[in-house]
Amino acid sequence: MTDDQRPTTKDYKVISHIVLMTPRAALSLDERSAFIDAFERAVRDIPMVKAVRVGRRVTHGAGYEQVAPAATYLAVIDFEDLADLQAYLRHPAHEDLGARFGQSLRSALVYDFEVGGLEELRRWRVD
């Protein structure tokens, strides 16, 4: 791929709310469904959500898998800015999700990142 064929992300920035999670082993089908429903409701009904991606962990024998924190699933929720993330966290639909979160998960790691394109790497030199 030549440089002029690469997708550009210049001036593209979002706040990404990243959740790595593992459900409780004894989670019933009804509890699992209630958690999924609450998640879908939150990302659908809260207007500040810009994009959502979810996935299941893939392991393939890479060395880093041995030291990585245990997590089965990932959710990445993007927001225009920090104010939108904070409004999402205060929204009533997120309160329901938060309650289900605590009931449904064995473990979770949650992080918020300002995300942009490759030009963000240059900022590391001055931060």
Q: Does 82 reside within a domain?
A: yes
**Residue 78 contacts residue 106 (beta carbons within 8 Å):** no
Whether residue 3 lies inside any domain: the answer is no
Residue 37 forms part of a structural domain: yes
- pLDDT the model gives residue 119: 78
Instruction: Tell me the pLDDT band of 98, cut-offs 50, 70 and 90.
Output: very high
Asked if the structure places residue 95 within a domain, the reply is yes
Which letter, b or e, does each residue of 35-62 get, where b requires 16 or more Cβ atoms within 10 Å of its Cβ? beebbeebbeebebbeeeeeeeeeeeee
21 sits in which H/E element = strand 14-23
How high is the mean pLDDT of the chain?
A: 89
Burial grade of 85 (CB within 10 A; 0-12, 13-18, 19 or more): buried
* Contact criterion met (CB below 8 Å) for 101 and 35: yes
Residue 9 pLDDT level (bands cut at 50, 70, 90):
low
Residue 123 lies in a domain: no
**Residue 125 belongs to a domain:** no
Q: Is residue 91, in this structure, part of any structural domain at all?
A: yes
% of residues, the chain, pLDDT over 70: 89
- What tens digit of pLDDT does each residue of 47-84 get? 999 999 999 999 999 998 888 888 999 999 999 999 99
Domain that holds residue 99: 12-59+67-116
User: What confidence category does residue 20 fall into, taking pLDDT thresholds of 50, 70 and 90?
Assistant: very high
Neighbours of 28 (CB within 10 A): 10
CATH code, domain with 49:
3.30.70.100
DSSP 78: E
The total number of structural domains that make up the chain: 1
User: With contact defined as beta carbons under 8 Å apart, do 38 and 92 qualify?
Assistant: no
User: What pTM was computed for the model?
Assistant: 0.85
Helix, strand, coil distribution of the chain in percent, nearest 5: 40, 30, 30
pLDDT computed for residue 10 by the predictor: 58
